[in-house]
Structure 1
Amino acid sequence: MKKQTAGRDQLGAFAPKFAELNDDILFGEIWSREEQLSPRDRSLITCSSLLTQGMPQLEAHMKMAKQNGVTKDEMVELITHLAFYTGWPKAWSTFSLAKEIFGE
């Protein structure tokens, strides 16, 4: 996985410890534990969590999911499944985002 620098790039001067934890621990140590969960599976889990919370970070993680091998059909199924647990409006909005990212 590519070295993450978003924390330092966006928050390094303002919140240096948070930026360090984001880049080195979360995206460094946790995401690199591929023997426990593949990046693809971590992406599916992360997108599910962010969708249910309605978090803006979903866009970046959906792009990462695509890079990690999650297909359009899998993302559509994830959103459809979660619509009944998280709410129809969240799912509806997420489909617009998925269409942009997965190119349809």
Structure 2
Amino acid sequence: MKKQTAGRDALGSFAPKFAELNDDVLFGEVWAREDKLSLRDRSIITVTALMSKGILDSSLKYHILNAKNNGVSAEEMSEIITHLAFYAGWPNAWAVFRLAKEVYEE
């Protein structure tokens, strides 16, 4: 996994500790524990959590792209979103499908 700098890029001077925790702990330590859970599985879990909470912004799009890059196919992502629609809400599914369609058509 490549070194994460999104926190520092977006918030480095405004919230340096939060940026450090985002880049070095969340993405540097937690996501790096591939011996415990694969990047692919972590991506699926993260997309599920964000959709379930109704977080349908650019962070979700980033994690859908991350899932794609970690081996989740378009067909699998479609099935994941369809399954989640019954648990996380139909309107959320529509919103996530729009983002996923953009990501997988790129």
TM tier, smaller: over 0.9
Aligned to 1:52: 52
Cα distance in 2, alignment partners of residues 68 and 33 from structure 1: 14
Aligned to 1:83: 85
Aligned to 1:36: 36
SS in 2 for 1:28: helix
Aligned to 2:4: 4
Gaps of 5+ in 1: none
CA RMSD of aligned residues (A): 1.0
Cα distance in 2, alignment partners of residues 33 and 11 from structure 1: 25
Aligned to 1:68: 70
Size of the alignment, in residue pairs? 104
Give TM-score scaled by structure 1 length. 0.97
SS in 2 for 1:3: coil
Question: How far is the alpha carbon of 1:93 from its aligned partner?
Answer: 1.3
Question: How far is the alpha carbon of 1:12 from its aligned partner?
Answer: 0.6
2:46 is aligned with what amino acid?
T
1:8-47 CA deviation, whole Å, 9 max, x = no partner?
A: 0000100000000000000000000000001000000000
Identity %: 64
